[in-house]
Structure 1
């Protein structure tokens, strides 16, 4: 498409006038809104304090018996292939499994009871053996508790003696789930065109997904993360199938009969029950090896995906990331093998089972020429996250689910480093960080948030445990670790982490264990890590720092969207600040209390601005007096590159969210987007588009909507023209950050009615229709340009 000619000077002047009117219109609407809401009689505000409610009933296993190992035999009675042929009877699918387990345990305190977990299993034939004497112990009763403890209580004659070694055998049967939990069934179809009668085969596979508390649905076990044990598994499965588990098959695997075979696996290291895993799939579910890796890495997928080469990228990048982690942590991957498998169904995206990582197909498979280049980001990030767990979570595990952030926060933080190492051309480390920062900010500004480290008594039931798997544990956990690393120095932080992994390898930890080993790398007189981290991990929320550059006063308060709430919480905040005179030099300041503190160095000279929290290393928002805000916004419009790109994005995000919390005027938030007309970087645009989404929803049916579109059209035009040549020629930039911004430019331009964008989209859509004549799709009879705008505005893929 030829480039459009420029507008006339007169039209340009009119355009500027209309833009000013657009901003004025939006401001007017917001002023009216604030006047109306200010007159409402609000409910008395709640007060947040550090006091806590009484703990719920204790639901934990007693520590009188501690497991050492399990011997498990499992047989899923599942047909993995069902053929549909004319005049041929097909078997009915079976969704049951049977098995037995022997758990070997030691007594740490005299008792006559065995308490372990079992849910949804029919358990029978109990046998207890005193391993020190070889004598059986009579079982008096077996009882399933009918509450959410899921306890299986076994009462015996006599007592288990402290220091004694015992075993418990149980047979059981259960149902294979159709809901992606415990042992579940997944299916896909395959057409066999070489058969005499062409057949459609419905293929099934079985897989496990046990985190956090579903191991008890598979076999009776001590299903708590610090009850680590070794596992020896035997799987009985159909002869045309392959079984995988945490470790490689052992030589004592054999065929049982014409229908079944048994695969035995080597013993695992001691690990938590939620990491136990196996899959059963058709023999044609094959693998490729990762190149040039000291660990045997095999990546499995369906035959069609394997033949098409969709597994090659994941196999290559896995080896690079695993090698990076081994070097960075100074600790080798503990297993000899690492299998990863793409499953048709899995929730969540992936699961870090030790030695057998499972993935949704979309999180592992990449199709050259079809998949988006940006899809590689997802694959690389997910693999990096799961491989980090092979150390943080699998080797060193939190003691209880109340500190799951020690697993997930670390895996998230470490994935930034691994992706940047494995794919430096992506240049997306800053994007990954900002995504998690804003995700955490959004959830942590609500009264429904929770601390990173919640008292263990408050996380007891399976539902409460599941509730800990959220943006706080993942994203806030990563941000708090990043803040600590920046404050103590990355070398000291990394040395502390290496020692943490070495000292606690194979063990369970609490967060205090981590602080102690990082503290060993830092002068305690200068910086007390446990004291510093306490407020960040044991309280909800985060602070907003307010700096008055006229008086030099600085203070903090708990940032909440509900501005009427009174909170007494405060944090020890490390942040760096700079001025427009000393950039790029910056000074670190620690605020260790809520009171106002006069800081002479924070008083601006004439025309000087101060920028705090350089590169957003502190987990907080920053507010300024109006004069400093204006100086910063003026700097953004005249020479934005003097302010780091992460801060350009964060100034927008802070302004909009401070307005949402009624700490600044909404006019400031809207004005913070003015500089975007000359901005090419993705992060500021992403921040603006995400935050403006609220205004689009609020004013979608008002007279402000038109001026809003006009304003956005004016702001995005230069960015769209920057990408115009790529877009018209159906190409994308090699830089991944620019790829993201190309998408943003097209979305905003078409949404706001930019003529070039509408014509481009219309032409490309028509071309696609012409090259795909079988598409049974009819356009509405209305104007095509209007249809494109409506489609863009209401498409789920558009954020604004």
Structure 2
């Protein structure tokens, strides 16, 4: 065994190293070649959950051996990807051994050097590796167990007055290299043999079961450097990608159950488990697992399903095989403080993460050496899994609001991207992070839902069960089996590749006076059409479900070319297309048909299907923004809402009116707009007041509970005196008796925010104290958002400053706080100034594991609508361009595009909108 040279201590911190065998330009080539193929890792890690006396810092140490095979003869070897903070790393021992069945021979290393741009540590050997030969790579390493929420990191919490530390991990998308030397690319899969050393009495978890299940009920104590530690060894994992590895050492406890042969455990802080906050997740997991086994027609591939709630976690959850990690608010549910929305979030996220288990495992089994990113599959079937577990919610319809309408807003920009990108174009870690956006998740889900609809759900499911795993190898649109048993105008391949490989979506225009039907690429800014290109010339094969007035059954027709003809010319009252929004497109009509549809809403809106009432409002507003409809027609689509009681149309209208508030709440349009919205919402407010016996209980229906919140929020925010008195009184009662919060969990977010806006320092300080005091993550989240609702600029400045103090605001929450402040019209300029002032610090010191830079840029620029703001944004881009924007690169471009469009919209529409709202106010007077 020949160690490498001692690495110079003068090299900068936070470098990422790599191993592979290839002759390449190390400065520009970011992808690993397949010259060395990993087969199995043996990794031992020892995280210290107490700080070192000398430095006050937390560290971890480790050693590993990695069995690899050589695919090519090369002289130059590089090993990917160990990221270490060199302040702690005095040296790294690297040995390379040639192995046979009976002998092992050390290979001497001439030199090694770092290439930080491409994240390689290059190892120069004194002789060539042999093609087909097996080798073993050995390394010793150490690093900081930092609180940066990436790689192997620490999370802290307080329980019964005692500060406790959790060592946990987030390897996705490219953070395994930050923990130990590895081939950190999804296709370079291997088996992981993990051993964790930890303090006696603590518990260690990883993807597989620990051998302690079989060897003994007692801890295995060993001594390392004179220190007694528990050694927990785990069974070998299935062959998997490095980003799916999970490691946890904690003082947690758990709930457990069995579903068939599968062990299910919910892990959390001891107090949370004792108080029953894990019960809902435990009761939900078994049925959802059963559903997916039936749906995929295959068994759950792992021996256990551990799910763990972490105090500090960057994402909402992560689908690590056998050990899914969650933010506490997304896994734990407390009926006493958690809302109906919290409960649905828990159900859908559990379903989403468990859906990955089968997809990812069988992908590798059938397609070894390949990697498939799901294209939104887990997002789509998460609704199906949650619907199975909670059948009374009708949660499947909410995909229209939560995913389809959401992603329309992004996919209508010229800076959008296709659902599936060329692998060669995604090389940098920040580019990989950018891919996990609304397009990948929500558009993928929407396109799959469309496929399921035009095939029919039985055919879709049958296709999955017969050749689902071959489909995972070759992408969705290559599944020839789906062509069987259903009449289609083209193959599934030909239909679906147009939705997957070109960005954007179409607007289908129906002229009922002539019967003409046409399609065009929908862009919010039509002037940007000359900067976008498509391999299919922006033509889609479009399934159009449509109906005439008085008909109950929707017909399916295919629009094949850019312009088509169909019998939409009729003597009926109206034509309605894209029934239940099963297609991923918008629909426009001639003005006469629009007027007939809006007249139907005004007279008897229930005749139009519920989801389409939401669709009409959303399409009208967005078509108007794209200058394809008059703005006054879009505004007129909301007038019927005074008689509407259903959640989906109301939420669609409020989502679209949010844009008007962003553009106009700092202008003279604001008050007339407020008066109009108050007139619309007060009947809904009184409706729920009567339904709930003067707010003493929650409605029975799932979506009614959501719409009750809308009624209260809008009645208060538009100045409804009865609502404001109600929320102020409730909050004052809580302040007078802090131990008894009688505000219903569903209403707390609204009540807290209303109280902050109406109150002053006393209310804010009380809410801050309760935020810091509570141990329930869902309650903390409600208070955290509400604290940004104050109208005091001094309090908002103070709150922003807390985002750079982890002891005040957890790093995982910093982005949310800044964006929430920006969402307050009193806080917009403060938040933007704060981001500009501290960007370099946040970007370089906090890193991708703490801030969601894309969300941050989007959040603080959403209101931008003036030339001065556009100039500031350009200056911000110029000032920070040299360092780059990492995962926010695309977000900056989208912000520039969006701001330019907003300026145009405001110039063209402000006066017309003011006149329209003023007329509505005059009518009511």
TM-score, normalised to structure 2, is 0.72
Does residue 736 of structure 1 match 2:702? Answer: yes
Does residue 574 of structure 1 match 2:543? Answer: yes
Equivalent in the alignment of 1:78: 49
Does residue 321 of structure 1 match 2:288? Answer: yes
Equivalent in the alignment of 1:746: 712
Equivalent in the alignment of 1:477: 444
* Distance change in 2, residues 1:142/1:572 (3 Å): farther
The C-alpha deviation readout for 1:334-390, integer Å capped at 9, x for no partner, is 111111111111110111110111111111111122211321101111111110110
User: Which moves more between the two structures, 712-721 or 357-366?
Assistant: 712-721
Equivalent in the alignment of 1:620: 585
Deviation, structure 1 residue 719 = 1.4
Deviation, structure 1 residue 61 = 1.4
Partners of 1:359 and 1:499 in 2: CA distance: 33
Residue 495 of structure 1 contacts residue 518 of structure 1 at CA under 8 Å; is this kept in 2? no
For residue 588 of structure 1, the aligned residue among 519, 537, 556 is 556
Equivalent in the alignment of 1:60: 31
The C-alpha deviation readout for 1:26-85, integer Å capped at 9, x for no partner, is xxxxxxxxxxxxxxxxxxxxxxxxxxxxxx9542211122211111111123329x9xxx
Residue 126 of structure 1 contacts residue 171 of structure 1 at CA under 8 Å; is this kept in 2? no
**Counterpart secondary structure, 2:276:** coil
For residue 458 of structure 1, the aligned residue among 425, 432, 450 is 425
Deviation, structure 1 residue 129 = 2.2
The C-alpha deviation readout for 1:436-459, integer Å capped at 9, x for no partner, is 001110111111111111111210
For residue 271 of structure 1, the aligned residue among 240, 253, 259 is 240
* Distance change in 2, residues 1:474/1:141 (3 Å): farther
* Distance change in 2, residues 1:455/1:93 (3 Å): same
Equivalent in the alignment of 2:180: 219
For residue 427 of structure 1, the aligned residue among 376, 386, 394 is 394
Does residue 239 of structure 1 match 2:210? Answer: no
Structure 1 segment 594-609 matched on structure 2, within 5 A: 594=562, 596-599=563-566, 601-605=567-571, 607-609=572-574
Larger Rg: 1
The C-alpha deviation readout for 1:551-576, integer Å capped at 9, x for no partner, is 11111111111121235522221121
Deviation, structure 1 residue 266 = 0.5
**Counterpart secondary structure, 1:206:** strand
**Counterpart secondary structure, 2:558:** strand
Residue 405 of structure 1 contacts residue 473 of structure 1 at CA under 8 Å; is this kept in 2? no
Structure 1, unaligned stretches of length 5 or more?
Answer: 1-55, 83-89, 192-199
Structure 1 segment 535-554 matched on structure 2, within 5 A: 535-554=498-517
Partners of 2:173 and 2:79 in 1: CA distance: 16
Deviation, structure 1 residue 659 = 0.8
Residue 617 of structure 2 contacts residue 653 of structure 2 at CA under 8 Å; is this kept in 1? yes
Partners of 2:756 and 2:29 in 1: CA distance: 59
Residue 689 of structure 1 contacts residue 799 of structure 1 at CA under 8 Å; is this kept in 2? no
* Distance change in 2, residues 1:264/1:525 (3 Å): same
* Distance change in 2, residues 1:793/1:524 (3 Å): farther
Deviation, structure 1 residue 427 = 2.4
* Distance change in 2, residues 1:503/1:707 (3 Å): closer
Structure 1 segment 652-663 matched on structure 2, within 5 A: 652-663=617-628
Alpha-carbon RMSD? 3.1
Deviation, structure 1 residue 629 = 0.2
Does residue 186 of structure 1 match 2:163? Answer: no
Partners of 2:112 and 2:139 in 1: CA distance: 13
Partners of 1:361 and 1:781 in 2: CA distance: 30
Aligned pairs, how many? 712
Q: Which gives a bigger RCO, structure 1 or 2 (Cα 8 Å, sep 6+)?
A: 1
Does residue 648 of structure 1 match 2:613? Answer: yes
Partners of 2:740 and 2:332 in 1: CA distance: 28
Deviation, structure 1 residue 268 = 0.7
Partners of 1:346 and 1:702 in 2: CA distance: 39
Equivalent in the alignment of 2:737: 771
* Distance change in 2, residues 1:174/1:628 (3 Å): same
Deviation, structure 1 residue 632 = 0.6
Partners of 2:639 and 2:204 in 1: CA distance: 59
For residue 495 of structure 1, the aligned residue among 453, 456, 462 is 462
Equivalent in the alignment of 1:22: none
Deviation, structure 1 residue 91 = 9.2
User: Which moves more between the two structures, 99-108 or 287-296?
Assistant: 287-296
* Distance change in 2, residues 1:678/1:141 (3 Å): farther
Residue 82 of structure 2 contacts residue 182 of structure 2 at CA under 8 Å; is this kept in 1? no
Equivalent in the alignment of 1:166: 135
For residue 107 of structure 2, the aligned residue among 135, 138, 141 is 138
Partners of 1:157 and 1:311 in 2: CA distance: 56
* Distance change in 2, residues 1:727/1:447 (3 Å): farther
**Counterpart secondary structure, 2:398:** helix
Residue 617 of structure 2 contacts residue 638 of structure 2 at CA under 8 Å; is this kept in 1? yes
The C-alpha deviation readout for 1:480-538, integer Å capped at 9, x for no partner, is 1111111122122112222344558xxx73416x6325436456974311211122111
Partners of 2:548 and 2:202 in 1: CA distance: 66
* Distance change in 2, residues 1:503/1:670 (3 Å): closer
* Distance change in 2, residues 1:574/1:102 (3 Å): same
**Counterpart secondary structure, 2:208:** coil
**Counterpart secondary structure, 1:421:** helix
Partners of 2:791 and 2:412 in 1: CA distance: 28
The C-alpha deviation readout for 1:205-263, integer Å capped at 9, x for no partner, is 10010001111111111111111111111111122311100111114672113531211
Residue 677 of structure 1 contacts residue 716 of structure 1 at CA under 8 Å; is this kept in 2? yes
Partners of 1:277 and 1:131 in 2: CA distance: 31
* Distance change in 2, residues 1:399/1:498 (3 Å): closer
The C-alpha deviation readout for 1:368-421, integer Å capped at 9, x for no partner, is 222113211011111111101102234426999xx9984260110010100111
Residue 78 of structure 1 contacts residue 94 of structure 1 at CA under 8 Å; is this kept in 2? no
TM-score, normalised to structure 1, is 0.83
**Counterpart secondary structure, 1:391:** helix
Equivalent in the alignment of 1:46: none
Partners of 2:270 and 2:487 in 1: CA distance: 57
Residue 396 of structure 1 contacts residue 501 of structure 1 at CA under 8 Å; is this kept in 2? no
* Distance change in 2, residues 1:70/1:667 (3 Å): same
Question: Which structure is higher in helix share?
Answer: 2
Partners of 1:405 and 1:685 in 2: CA distance: 37
Equivalent in the alignment of 2:78: 115
Structure 1 segment 199-210 matched on structure 2, within 5 A: 200-210=161-171
Residue 734 of structure 2 contacts residue 740 of structure 2 at CA under 8 Å; is this kept in 1? no
Residue 139 of structure 1 contacts residue 156 of structure 1 at CA under 8 Å; is this kept in 2? yes
**Counterpart secondary structure, 1:118:** strand
**Counterpart secondary structure, 1:721:** helix
Partners of 1:409 and 1:267 in 2: CA distance: 29
Equivalent in the alignment of 1:756: 722
Partners of 2:693 and 2:487 in 1: CA distance: 56
Residue 177 of structure 1 contacts residue 185 of structure 1 at CA under 8 Å; is this kept in 2? yes
**Counterpart secondary structure, 1:168:** strand
Partners of 1:672 and 1:411 in 2: CA distance: 34
Does residue 529 of structure 1 match 2:498? Answer: no
* Distance change in 2, residues 1:729/1:256 (3 Å): same
Equivalent in the alignment of 1:38: none
For residue 105 of structure 1, the aligned residue among 65, 68, 72 is 68
Structure 1 segment 511-522 matched on structure 2, within 5 A: 511=475, 515-516=478-479, 518-519=481-482, 521-522=484-485
* Distance change in 2, residues 1:744/1:793 (3 Å): farther
